[in-house]
Amino acid sequence: MAIDIVVTADAEAAAAAAAALLADAAAAGGSIVVAGGSTPRRAYELAAELNGDWGDAEVWFGDDRCVPASDLRSNQLLVHEALLERLIVPPTVHAIPTGLPPESAAALYDAALTGEPLDLVLLGLGPDGHTASLFPDAPSLDVRDRLAVAAEPGLEPFVRRITLTIPALESGRHVVFLAVGEGKAPAVRHAFAEEPSRAIPASLVRALRGRTTVILDEAAASLLDRA
Contacts with ligand 6PG, residue ranges (CB under 6 A): 35-39, 62-63, 75, 124-126, 130-133
Nearer Cβ to ligand 6PG (133/171)? 133
Judged by beta carbon, residue 53 or residue 128, the one nearer ligand 6PG is: 128
The nearer residue to ligand 6PG, 29 or 183, going by C-beta atoms, is 183
Note whether 164 and 148 are within 8 A (CB): yes
Output the smallest distance, CB 202 to ligand 6PG, in A: 9
Nearer to ligand 6PG, 37 or 91 (CB): 37
Comparing CA positions, the residue from 173, 148, 143, 178 lying closest to residue 161 is 148
Least distance in angstroms from the C-beta of 42 to ligand 6PG: 10
**Closest distance between ligand 6PG and the C-beta of residue 134, in Å?**
8
Min CB(124)–ligand 6PG separation in Å: 2
Residue 130 CB partners (closer than 8 Å, separation 6+): 136, 154, 155, 201, 202
Contact 76, 96 (CB under 8 A): yes
Tell me how far apart the alpha carbons of residues 77 and 73 are, in angstroms, rounded to a whole number: 8
Cβ–Cβ < 8 Å for 10, 218 = yes
**Nearer Cβ to ligand 6PG (132/215):** 132
- At its nearest, how many Å lie between ligand 6PG and the CB of residue 89? 26
